[in-house]
Structure 1
Amino acid sequence: MRRIMLVVLAVSAACVIAAPSLQISKPPVVPFESWSGPEGDPHSVQGQWFQDISSGAEEFGTHEFYDNLSGSGGGFAIHRSISSIVAQTYTNSGGDLVRFDMSITVRNDTPGGGTGWADGANSHNESLSTQTMYSGTLYDTRVAVEFAFEPVSLGNWLDAGGEGGSPYFDVEIPLIAVEPDKLGWYCWSPQNEPGIQPYGAYIVPVYDFGDIPQGEQVSRIISFEIGYPLSPDHPLSVLLESGSDLLFNRSSSLKISNWGAELKNDYGFAYPYEDPQIPGMSSNVSVFHNVPEPSGLLLFAAAVFMKRITKM
């Protein structure tokens, strides 16, 4: 039986400034030609793409919600606007850890405070520099868990030849997402020549969190299986039992910036795990959403206009 719990709660009135939420369609994301999306939108003009696992329908998110700190575009809720706690762990007969349930919470405390957030980048050679943030309901909220994989989609990819390999195999301990709702598109070979579609697929597990009005939050319990049993003293076992917040998504990460991220403590530092050689390391989840319909239509019109310009 599918184990899902959605909880909507009011957020304290003190938590009215955090985030920010930034537009991730084109513009303002650059360059226009990035070969970072699926066949229907190869340059990801619309934003971040998803595929529903049940229906196969494709959809996109135009904005990304972050958990920056105060002074970096965040505010009173700071890094707790995206948070987690391991609710339950499971062991085998030998006492080794084999599975855990994680409660993930997204708090909508838009708008963010100030404009001091870091520019975003990702492994597909895209970047974002903007001083404009969104304030309002997070519509169609989706959480991409970049530290885990979904076995059916990855298996299908490998059965089809596994062209380009998969970056997820670089992780030390594979984590399997149980029953995700959607898969997020991820491209992992931006070094291809211009005009050649890079290797990519709908392959990153994504969970639906619904609409989240301002001043409210949604929590959902999500299960993960561990690729092989871990002893109680293994560093990941210790981390999972620590009661710490293990999720983060700072604005230096643009969209699904890296797949094969790791669970780590969110200590509340501004950009805790930056690496000058690998963009977007201060993120192991990404939170996407849409905006009210009129704004969405304007975004689409702008994207079409930019596409026409490139053909002139």
Structure 2
Amino acid sequence: MKTSEPLTEKEITPEFVEKERKRRNLRESLTGYAMISPWLIGFFGLIIGPMIYSFILSFTDYDMLSAPQWTGFSNYVELFTNDPRFIQSLQATFTFVVIAIPLKLAFSLFLALLFNTGRKGSGIFTTIYYVPSIIGGSVAISVVWRQMFGRDGAVNTMLDAWGLDTISFFGNSSAAMSILIILIVWQFGAPMIIFLAGLRQIPDDLYEAASVDGAGMIRKFIKVTIPMLTPIIFFNLVMETINGFMTFTQAFLITGGGPRDSTLFYAVYLYEVAFEFLNMGYASAMAWILLVIIGAFTLLIFKSSTFWVHYD
């Protein structure tokens, strides 16, 4: 059996060392890529590939039953010039995001402040209050919500028992939008947990110094808590804004986009175009417009963060 002999000093040249270094780096790189190959396959096969195909389809007329027919920019022109439901879906989505997301973040922060007392049992209540975020976006909760606000549902039954006029929640545009906003705000658990983690990272010394200066509870909140939480507020704002634009299940199952398309969120209309009208090319164009809108809002938030987010 042959064994490798040790190298002599003459054989260990700078060129040999460099060659061995490159060979070792290549071996380590290949090992790393092999370890993350399942993620790479999923990323390129299930995300990048479909995105590229969707972009191509956005320039075609495709009904999923016959071959796509190239139409150029006609889908995009049609959306902005001859589709009032597209404009209505944008208006409904913007209204929802502008109202629901600030309310959700404010309510999440309020509860996080309540649970940041360190009292016995606060962890149990935090867990209980997190549950709506787990089940709130489910089909079951949406169905329950629809039944609860129906004409003969629990809410109208209570109003009738108290001698008050019942409300047609699904026949009134403002009431229908309010139902969806309340449901989204009710799913406050995730941002609440993140706010709570941020509150527990604020040094107590800052509050003690503020107390010495004569600051009260409200002034401490404005001058200490809010500035120290701005990175957390920024993160929650970005994530919740993105999720808000993609809201689908609640509007689809509870209101179905009604009444009179007042709750026809963008994702609901996109679903109708793609899977009810079988106009996949048109739906692909809508999907890319939504991507641009979300990207623009996210970029706007990032640009504005230089004026109100403090990392020091």
Q: TM-score, normalised by structure 2?
A: 0.23
TM-score (norm. length: structure 1): 0.23
Q: Which protein has the larger Cα radius of gyration, Structure 1 or Structure 2?
A: 2
| Higher normalized strand content (fraction of residues) | 1
